[in-house]
Chain A
Amino acid sequence: MMLIPCPWCGPRDESEFHYGGQADVRYPENPGTVSDEEWGRFLFYRDNPKGVFAERWVHAAGCRRWFNVERDTLTNEIRPAHDATTRTVTR
């Protein structure tokens, strides 16, 4: 089980959190002009790196707030993203 650093509560057991996938996936700026191809990309495609991944978690059983971390998907080494608490949540 991972210890996940909630910016507000400090490190807590993984089981207190829910996973939110890739960080900072932006809703298209001008939805009316987006092609099928681009919609598909927005809806279905996410990065899947073997290595450092910027991702979101919500402290569901704690303060219930969302935040970002950078985690190595091979070693599970985890550190807060530099803008862990400020990035706007877009989706």
Chain B
Amino acid sequence: MTPRTPGADLPDHPDWLWRNPDPKPSYDVVIVGGGGHGLATAYYLAKNHGITNMAVVERGWLAGGNMARNTTIIRSNYLWDESAGLYEHALKLWEGLEDELDYPLLFSQRGVLNLAHSLQEVRDSVRRVNANRLNGIDAEFLDPAQVKEICPILNVSDDIRYPVLGATWQPRAGIAKHDYVAWGFARALDRMGVDLVQNCEVTGFERVGDRIVGVETTRGDIRAGKVALAAAGHTSVLADSLGLRLPIQSHPLQALVSELLEPVHPTVVMSNAVHVYVSQAHKGELVLGAGIDAYNSYSQRGAFHTIERQMAAAVELFPMFARAHVLRTWGGVVDVTPDASAIMGLTPFEGLYVNCGWGTGGFKATPGVGWCFAHTIAHDEPHPLNAPFSLDRFTTGALIDEHGAAGVAH
């Protein structure tokens, strides 16, 4: 695609992109949660499997959850084959998504640097680069001078508390404008006749024995042939109403943006050790994220000391940020699993499918989730790419431990 002037692409106001229908009494498929994952799943159910008698049911406004709150980083340089398979499938879909949806997503493959600050991190990073390459994923290990070349504003001197000893580099990684991604999917779904039902909270399920046949909502009961959960941080609340226990914990995750600045930051920089990640949005804000707040919470805010820590790390790595003003901070509710990998697949209930546990890093997976979850729902069987992410791995022990391995903050 030819480069475009940022802002020149601003799409239509969302009101004009989709209808705002009342729920019908019944659908073939009801998807709970109108974030990126719910929308992408509906899109590929319609496109790849011909299912359009379908509703995406959202308790608030469309894509107002984590979809509107994340720091938009997209990459696929995960360590394990299972993760690499899923995230790389997603990245390949991202690469064609603007054309496919015929909608600007401001998808920008500006690359991502994952910094290493200790000898052990250097070794882990080199290992991950090798694993990435074996999986056909673009990856390189760079020394501090090469890192500086790619991101000149980064402080690579060796007299800071956690000096940069090197970094992994994935050139195809980048960012996309999260709202536009949701709106692009929503517009396409609306055109295919799928109902996007807002202000409609699912409060329970209708069941016949162990079969789920519908949902109870704040706007009445809706019968459904199949029900798919894509409710991110709130999945436990929904599953509890069925007595279904899931190995997830919901935590606040915060981010912040600066005022608008001249283009200064050419790529995405992430550091697991000092835990900050930053890129510059198309308009010019510096977008910074931190780690989760330690405690469980459903309030979409966290504590200030988390932000202070993140800012201290950022200013040490990027001394020029000391002069930038914070414009806004906010939080989302993310669901974290014990092995830092998602859960996607069947449940003990017939006709109920679960997609959750993406924690701090599910935006990048959005199209891949949609593709694989749609397959799982349509065929009552996981797609080969999401089969390893089934719930039973917490019994069999076949965990996908990205936590320690790939530095999976996002």
Contacts and interface: CB of A to CB of B under 8 A. Distances in A.
Nearest to B248: A48
A1 B295 CA distance: 12
B305 A76 contact: no
Given A1-B303, A2-B303, A45-B245, A73 B395 contact: no
Interface centre among A2, A40, A76 (most CB of B within 10 A): A40
The secondary-structure label for the interface of chain A is: mixed
B298 A18 contact: no
A2 B246 CA distance: 27
Interface stretch (A24-32, A49-57, A82-90): A49-57
Given A1-B303, A2-B303, A50-B237, A40 B394 contact: yes
A50 B395 contact: no
B392 to A, nearest CB: 9
Contacts, number: 63
B402 to A, nearest CB: 15
A81 to B, nearest CB: 15
B359 to A, nearest CB: 13
Contacts of B396: 36
B225 interface: no
A80 B311 CA distance: 32
Nearest to A74: B298
A37 B294 contact: no
A53 B296 CA distance: 9
A75 to B, nearest CB: 7
Nearest to B297: A73
A36 B395 contact: yes
Interface residues of B, number: 24
B349 interface: no
B248 A14 contact: no
A40 B247 CA distance: 9
A43 B338 contact: yes
Interface string B291-334: 00011111100011100000000000000000000000000000
B299 A1 contact: no
Contacts of A43: 338, 394
B249 interface: yes
A71 B293 CA distance: 15
Interface string A11-29: 0011100110100000000
25 contacts: A2-B303, A15-B303, A15-B305, A19-B294, A19-B295, A21-B249, A36-B395, A36-B397, A40-B247, A43-B394, A44-B394, A45-B246, A46-B247, A46-B249, A48-B249, A50-B250, A50-B298, A53-B296, A55-B296, A71-B295, A73-B296, A74-B298, A74-B299, A75-B299, A76-B299
Interface of B: 234, 236-237, 240, 245-250, 294-299, 303-305, 338, 394-397
Interface of A: 1-2, 13-15, 18-19, 21, 36-37, 40-41, 43-46, 48-50, 53, 55, 71, 73-76
